[in-house]
């Protein structure tokens, strides 16, 4: 898996590497007003959780990761994940993966990337396999203790809806990106197969997904 972080994110991680990990999620009873461009908000097992990206260094930060494979013909297949993470050691973290990308490196990758994520209802991925020609979302959650969960599993009554997609031009430090606003709810299953599931309701976020298809 490839992970791409902004320079400010990298500085933050270096700064916090000598600190002990701790949760940035204080108990909340009502959802605060969203004032940041990028954020995640939802109710996790009854607890209102709000993470807002402020200065890109402290508190919570954005990032992107890729889980892709390339064959001998230059065909790239897999998923790209937009991340909202604590600046202290990556946890807690929410990840929203869009799949399945499949593009050849001889093609116009930027145009393909910009056109892949579309508005409307998206299905949840039912398995971890990346199937070319299908579009689906997977929600990943890592709690403050580093325990991982994903939406892969039965999702009766769950939904994910992409409300808007805005292209973000490349900069000196990043490739082309997409600003994606979406709502979602789902059941989250322990990645290690043991323990209780987590219910995520009233989920909404605006995330930044960087083009890592190379």
Domain count for the chain, please give it.
Answer: 1
Rounded mean pLDDT, 30-55: 95
Over the stretch 148-202, which tens digit does the pLDDT of each residue have? 999 999 999 999 999 999 999 999 888 999 999 999 999 999 999 999 999 999 9
Percent of the chain with pLDDT over 90: 80
Over the stretch 102-137, which tens digit does the pLDDT of each residue have? 999 999 999 999 999 999 999 999 999 999 999 999
| DSSP, residue by residue, the chain | -EEE--HHHHHHHHHHTTSPP-------SSPPPP-SSSEEEEEETTEEEEEEBSSSSSBEEEEEEEEEEE-TT-EEEEEEEEEEEETTTT-SEEEEEEEEEEEETTS-HHHHHHHHS-SEEEEEPSSS---TT--EEEEEEE-TT--EEE--S--TT-EEEEEEEEEE---SS---EEEEEEEEEEEEEETTS-S--EEEEEEEEEEEEE----
pLDDT reported for residue 20: 35
- Domain interval for residue 125: 2-210
């Amino acid at each position: 898996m490839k992970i791409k972080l902004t320079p400010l994110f990298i500085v933050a991680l270096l700064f916090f590497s000598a600190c002990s990990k701790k949760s940035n999620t204080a108990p909340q009873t009502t959802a605060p007003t969203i004032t940041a461009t990028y954020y995640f908000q939802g109710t996790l097992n009854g607890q209102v959780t709000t993470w807002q990206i402020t200065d890109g260094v402290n508190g919570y930060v954005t990032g992107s990761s890729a889980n892709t494979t390339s064959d001998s013909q230059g065909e790239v297949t897999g998923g790209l994940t937009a991340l909202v993470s604590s600046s202290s050691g990556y946890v807690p973290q929410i990840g929203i993966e869009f799949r399945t990308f499949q593009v050849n490196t001889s093609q116009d990758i930027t145009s393909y990337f910009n056109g892949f994520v579309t508005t409307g209802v998206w299905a949840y991925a039912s398995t971890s396999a990346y199937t070319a020609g299908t579009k689906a979302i997977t929600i990943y959650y890592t709690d403050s203790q580093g325990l991982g969960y994903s939406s892969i599993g039965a999702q009766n009554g769950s939904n994910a809806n992409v409300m808007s997609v805005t292209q973000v031009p490349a900069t000196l430090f990043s490739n082309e990106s997409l600003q994606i606003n979406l709502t979602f709810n789902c059941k989250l299953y322990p990645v290690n197969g043991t323990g209780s599931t987590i219910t995520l309701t009233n989920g909404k976020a605006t995330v930044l997904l960087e083009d890592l298809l190379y």
